[in-house]
Structures are given as structure tokens and as C-alpha cells.
Amino acid sequence: MSSDLTPSAPGATPAPDLCDAVLAVADGRATATALLDDAIGAADAPATDRAYLRRFDAQARVSAGIVDAARAAGLPLPPLAGLAVSVKDLFDVAGWPTTAASRVLADAAPATADCPAVARLRAAGAALTGHTNLSEFAYSGVGINPHHGTPVNPVTAAINATPRIPGGSTSGGAVTVAAGAAWAALGSDTGGSIRIPAALQGLVGFKNTQRLTPLAGAVPLSTTLDTACAITRSVRDAVLVHGILAARTPAPCNRPLHALRLALPQTLMLDGLDADVARAFDRALTVLRAAGAQIEDLPLAPLADLAGLQANGGFTAAESWAWHRARLAVLEAEYDPRVAQRIRRGEAIGAADYIDLLQARTEWIARVGAELQGFDAVLSPTVPMVAPAIAPLLSSDSRFFAINALLLRNPSVVNMLDGCALSLPCHQPGQMPVGLMVWGPALADDTVLGVGLAIEAALAAAGDR
């Protein structure tokens, strides 16, 4: 029954999305069980190798079966209709350990309850398929994990044979969505960890305003910046899943492109774009302007101060050191050395430095907000490069840290702003994936989602999606 919804090859367009699948289950064109069988088959395929750390197949089948029984009885179906959703191995799932893809937490006891984000997905009828791989303790935008192996980017693998990074830290989650093993992936975003893998794999990643989704029951990286959110296949899927995770009813702004005033920052965000990103982003801007969008260059000078705010590792180093310092004292040999190195930067950040950082961030947010007054949203490339090859990053620390910094550069602006952002694909079919980021200040979620819907439609009409 599910043949018309079987996901296309990674990166192919058009591809069915979660909303399509929900409708198909509701009107009887597919069963939740049959669609879950497809997802499990994809999870067993080579494209998903190393994406999952542990699988919940039996529990997922129960969830899908409950939905099919409800439909057979004529009962209302839950919003996610028994469909496959993967969970980053930072979030507690009842009955399973949460290990943050580390060896440090390898002996963790099974969680006694779902964390709130997982509980909301389960209550909405998700078939939770497993814990997914990530950069250890979510501390990297690259997605490499030396303990469990690194999942290869399945979308770029369909374009050329060079194994390329999946992006991180939500590496495995993105791969499950790109390869058809899940319709959505619960993950986290501290400096781009949802949007980076979404951009590098041609997916949609929405980082909501941090306060909207509870972080309880999740292994922290930075309590100031961490955000629980999801990767999906489309912007309308992002709206659906965000509503569930935030326990709210999103109301995306419904305005045509010609009624939108969009900012294009000239500071930082456009620096050093590689040729593929520059070409795809410029073409997207051309399409949007032809559709009537008012896109205005904006200096946005405060972005030049971001490096100073993040010197010595900023909030991430300080707050991860607070959480890890006792563990590092006895288990440092079990850590990924690159992760331990970054955590240890926080050792040198004193209480006065941390308080100064909090105040500096508050002032910086006000300065950025003042310059964004009158704009509906901001546009930029999500990251300045397409997915680089894995091999050089395994052998060179300097290369790894340089690429990691570049990947985090643009998306981390939004976390420091306490804002919200959507990454959506802007490349043409058959090209290396490139993400366009739509972003704004705190609690502008519905505006960002509405602008994203309008942009997605315009790019689709132009033949880009």
C-alpha cells in the first residue's frame, strides 16, 4: 500500500514528506505499519550505516500498529500517524540508555521516563525508531565520531564517490531522514547542529526560539544556547513537528513574497563562500527577487563582534566544562581528544568572565535587534561550503578545527542572538546540497516559518526543488 510514498533515492526530488505520509495513512492509501516497514528497510541499507546507535524497532512496530488499529476502528488519528521519527542520542527515551555517542556514558542506566521532547513526539503518535549517532557530546559541526564511526553523507554519495561528512552534531539524525529511515529527526542545535547537517544533506532544519521546547532529560552542551528541535524533509513538515515539540499551534505568516522585506547582511555571513554555495545562493536570491521579494543589503556591523563574544570558547566551553569537569578528571582517556580539548578551554573562564559574557551578550542582542527593526526576516547561506571529504579531517587536527569553525560561523549567530532560524535547500537537483538560512530574533518563529514556506514555494516554482 505504500509504494507511492516510498522515499526516493537520497537527494532526489520531488520526494514525499511527512505531511504526505500522514494524509496517506489517514485516507487509507497506506498503513502506518507498511510505511514503518519501508523505514526499517532503509535503516538496514548501506546508506544508513552508522546512523543509528541503537534501534527501537519492536517499540516502533507497536506504535504503528496502534495507529492502524485506531484507523480501522474509525477513531481519530494522532498528528504523526504512527510514522518513523529518530531521536538523537542526547534525549532520554524510557527503557534505553542515553550515552551522547560517547564511551564516557557507556554504562549509563536505562532512562526511567521519556524526556519532555520525546514524550510529546510519542503522544503525537510518532513511531520512535532509535537513538542516532552524533559528534560526541554534540561538540562539533562536522559530525565525525571516533567511537562509533561516522555516517557518510548519503546525498553527496549519490553525486560522487568521495565519502563526505554528514554535518553535525545531529549527523545520524540527518542521515536517517535523507536516506528514508525516518520522516523526521529529533535533534539539538547549540551553534548550528540541526541546520548544518540539514544544509549539507539537502534537508530542512528549524531551530526554534530556545525557550519554546523543554530541554529537561537531555544531555547538555551549553545550557544557554542548546535548543531541542528537528530535521525534516520540507518546511511544512517543520511547522508540524515544531508545533508538537513546542506544544503550541504555529501560525506561519501568510504573506506573499512581494509583501516581505528581507535583510541580506554584508558582514561575516557572505565571507569566503565556496563556488557551489555562492552560485546556488545567488541564484536563489535572483529567483526570490523575480518573485517580488524586497531583499536589501544591510551592513549589520555587530556581527563583526561575534568572534570576541565567542573567544576562548564562550558559553559552550564554560558550560560544558561545568558539566564535564568531574568526568574529565577520571575519564579523559575515554573522550574524543578533540572534544576534550574544547571542553578544557572552559577551565580558564572564571566567574567574573562568565558574568561579563552574559552582559555582553545582552547588549549585543539589543544592538542586532535594533538594526533588524522593520525587516521581516534575514537571509544568508546556512554554511559557506558544501560537505567536505571525511578523510582529510580524520588525519589533520588543524584541518578539522578550521572546517568546524567555518561550519559553525553563520548558524551560531542565531544561537547567540537567542533567535530562530530555518535552513532549507536552495541548490538545483543533481548539485551538491546548499542551504539557505532564514532567520530572525527571539519569538519570530511564525514569521520565519512563513517566510520559509514562501521561499520554498518560489524555489519549487523555479524548478530548484
Residue 240 near residue 248 (C-beta atoms within 8 A): no
Number of helices (H) and strands (E) in the chain: give both, helices first. Answer: 16, 11
Kindly write down the DSSP assignment for every residue of 147-162, as one continuous string. Answer: TT-----HHHHTT-SS
Query: How far, rounded to the nearest angstrom, does the alpha carbon of residue 227 sit from its chain's CA centroid?
Result: 10
Length of the chain, in residues: 465
| Alpha carbons 132 and 54: distance in angstroms, whole number | 7
Amino acid identity, residue 369?
A: G
Judged by DSSP in three states, 204 sits in strand
Catalytic residue among 135, 193, 320, 412: 193
* Burial zone of 35 (CB within 10 Å; 0-12 exposed, 13-18 middle, 19+ buried): buried
Any catalytic annotation for residue 207? no
Largest CA distance in the chain: 62
CA 126 from centre of chain: 18
Three-state SS for 105-122 is: CCCCCCECCCCHHHHHHH
Q: Which three three-digit cell numbers place residue 251?
A: 501560525
Exactly one of 2, 63, 86, 88 is catalytic; name it: 88
Strands 261-265 and 204-207: unpaired
Q: Catalytic residue at 193?
A: yes
Apex CA 216: angle with CA 211 and CA 219, to 5°?
A: 110
Burial class from Cβ neighbours inside 10 Å (0-12, 13-18, 19+) for residue 260 reads buried
- Could you say which of 2, 63, 135, 169 is catalytic? 169
Is 201:207 a contact under the CB 8 Å cutoff? no
Integer Rg of the chain from CA: 21
Q: Facing residues of 440 across strands?
A: 420
C-alpha cell at 342: 574544547
Q: DSSP strand E in 344-461: where?
A: 377-381, 420-425, 435-440
Task: Let me know if 187 is exposed, middle or buried by CB neighbors in 10 A (0-12, 13-18, 19+).
Answer: buried
Residue 169 among the catalytic residues? yes
Q: How far is CA 283 from the centre of its chain?
A: 24
State the cell numbers at 275: 563556488
Q: Is 334 exposed, middle or buried (0-12, 13-18, 19+ CB in 10 A)?
A: middle
Calculate the alpha carbon distances from 465 to 12, 237, 428 in Å: 9, 15, 7
CB-based contact 433:156 (threshold 8 Å): yes
Which residues are the active-site residues?
A: 88, 169, 193
